[in-house]
Amino acid sequence: MYPNKPAHRSLAATVPGTLWAGGQRPLIQHLFRTFDPGHRAVNTTFDNENQGTGTMFRRSASIGILTYRRPEEVKRCLEAVVAAIAEPMPDSWSVDEVMVIDNDPDGSARAVVSKLAERTVSAASIRYVHEPRAGVSIARNRAMAEAAGDVLVFIDDDEIPHEGWPHGLLTVLDETGAAMVGGPVLTEFTAPPPRWIVDGRFFDRDDAPHRSARAWLRSGNLAIDLEQVRGAGLLFDPRYRQGEDSAFTRAARAAGLELRWSSVGAITEFVGADRFSTRWRARREYLSNRAWTRSSLDLADGATGRAASRARVATVALARAGQGLALMAAGLWPGRADRRAEGLAVWAGVGGRIVEIMAYRRP
């Protein structure tokens, strides 16, 4: 529940009654039929030596899969990534490596990755990278440091790509010159969700017009131009337990870098029953809103700017508190448990904002 979020595309509304066990496939297939694999990038750069010969300068991409104690999930993800990059890339691109960044101090993904690497035939190398220091930001920074490609494309271990990935992201990078391009993340439930989750559409994700400019992006399906990001001196901030992606991409935009969206190149995130609780959702909203507030204060200009940012956050929190009360009241009606759950989540988000206003210290 970040402020000023764009309208959601509802997968539940699109494919009613098929919210799990592959119900998204028709929508996914429709997305990818809109992508022409033979499309040539508009802003292709040519090697000076071959200028005028029609030989393109090829840029390379690294894929970064982040994992933490989910060996079966990372196996599924890695197999799907290898299959996706076997498809022809846009003319100006190649994918040369797939990295698995294991953030488990015990290295639980090592055996799975090694076995897959041994028996997989791929033009891209498969690399295991052990990052024992705890924290998703530290793992993402390690991926950026290790990447040999010009671009790093992030995907998480509980996700799989589909046709058109990462092709769509890379094509938009070429067409727009953006520093980062994000893409759709669809949801597939691994168990039937409770009715209140379906009614509340709690796992719907943002969507936007193809190639549109964005104020921030999530990291679950994100391509990063490493030259631009390194040139701006940007890293993921280890202070963030959640929301590190919004903080990172907002900082990039504040530094003058361009963020764009590709509607081609969707991935699916698998959501299990462990997330089917009001407590899980409330905790997520608390941490997300606290991270958003911290990021806003980090980006504020001086003491005066931080004071103004605090005032804006407090004003929004007050308005949201009223909205939360109204939602919880509506949730008293029979069959409207989704309203009650949403109201509790809103109040948790308000708490996150207020706590961060009081606890914030300039880094």
Residue holding tokens 């196996």?
Answer: 75
- pLDDT surpassing 90 at residue 153: yes
Sheet with 159-161: strands ordered across: 159-161, 267-271, 185-189
**Token pair of 261 as six digits:** 């969206």
pTM of the model: 0.82
How far is 274 from 277, CA to CA, in rounded Å? 7
Structure tokens at 150: 């010009």
Q: What is the pLDDT of residues 286-310, one digit of tens each?
A: 999 999 999 999 999 999 999 999 9
Per-residue pLDDT at 339: 85
Nearest to 246 by CA among 276, 206, 211: 206
The per-residue pLDDT for range 37-81, each reduced to its tens digit, is 333 232 222 223 333 333 456 899 999 999 999 999 999 999 999
End-to-end CA distance of the chain: 25
**Distance (Å) of CA 317 to CA 284, 313, 353, 355:** 16, 6, 7, 11
Distance CA 342, CA 163 (A): 34
- At 303 the pLDDT is 93
Spatial CA neighbour of 89 closest among 148, 29, 174, 146: 174
Task: For domain 8-274, say whether CATH 1.10.3720.10 is its number.
Answer: no
Picking from 49-53, 173-177, 199-203, 346-350, which range would have the lowest pLDDT averaged per residue? 49-53
Q: Give the pLDDT of residue 56.
A: 52
